[in-house]
């Protein structure tokens, strides 16, 4: 399995996986949001970046992360926003490898933390996450603004 930065040529496959991810969350996004997201992931703008997992020459999963500054640290923090593995490739360690890849980048680049959250009920994801670290007791509050807030 190869884990690497997403390339512009990955767009068609990434879009199919992204559609699957949105379907998993029973949601849709306007095309301009998807197009802009891909553009920012590829150009690593606004701190966004995408790593993809490739098996047998086909991209089968992705991580989307946001690098940002913080008040408690002097180096960047990495927020893992989206993680997805194609259904037919699950249970083979791809999800774990995508997180391990980010942890490796964090160590190599001197980021201070890697963090993410998920629904308490997402048992498949939590099986993977619990291999890395125990969940803490923070809860999330969200206020939505604007037409594309979700």
Ligand X SMILES: CC(C)(COP(=O)(O)OP(=O)(O)OC[C@H]1O[C@@H](n2cnc3c(N)ncnc32)[C@H](O)[C@@H]1OP(=O)(O)O)[C@@H](O)C(=O)NCCC(=O)NCCS
Question: Does 122 interact with ligand X (rule: CB under 6 A)?
Answer: yes
Please count the other Cβ atoms lying within 10 Å of the Cβ belonging to residue 135.
11
Q: Pattern of binders to ligand X over 54-93, x per CB under 6 A?
A: -----------------------------xxx----xxxx
- The residue (of 13 and 90) whose beta carbon lies closer to ligand X is 90
Per-residue mark of binding to ligand X, 1-40 (x: CB under 6 A): -----------------------x----------------
Q: Does 48 bind ligand X (CB under 6 A)?
A: no
Of 55, 24, 21, nearest to 37 by C-alpha is 21
The two three-digit tokens of residue 69, written as one number: 């500054």
Least distance between ligand X and beta carbon 111 (Å): 20
Q: Dihedral of CA 25/115/144/63: which sign?
A: negative
| Contact status, residue 78 vs residue 111, Cβ threshold 8 Å | yes
# residues near ligand X by CB under 6 A? 17
Q: Fill in the DSSP letter of residue 93.
A: S
Spatial distance between the Cα atoms of 101 and 84, rounded to a whole number of angstroms: 14
Q: Is 102 in the site for ligand X (CB under 6 A)?
A: no
Residues forming contacts to ligand X in the complex (CB under 6 A) are 24, 83-85, 90-96, 118, 122, 124-125, 127-128
């Amino acid at each position: 399995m190869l884990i690497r930065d997403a390339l512009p040529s990955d767009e068609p496959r990434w879009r199919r996986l992204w559609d699957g991810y949105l379907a998993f969350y029973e949601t849709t996004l306007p095309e301009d949001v998807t197009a802009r997201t891909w553009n920012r992931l590829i150009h690593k703008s606004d701190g966004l970046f995408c790593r993809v997992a490739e098996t047998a020459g086909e991209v089968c999963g992705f991580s989307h992360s946001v690098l940002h500054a913080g008040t408690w640290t002097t180096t960047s923090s990495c927020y893992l926003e989206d993680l997805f593995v194609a259904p037919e490739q699950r249970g083979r360690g791809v999800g774990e490898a995508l997180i391990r890849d980010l942890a490796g980048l964090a160590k190599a680049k001197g980021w201070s933390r890697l963090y993410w959250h998920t629904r308490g009920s997402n048992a498949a994801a939590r099986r993977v996450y619990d291999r890395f670290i125990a969940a803490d007791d923070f809860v999330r509050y969200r206020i939505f603004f604007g037409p594309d807030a979700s």
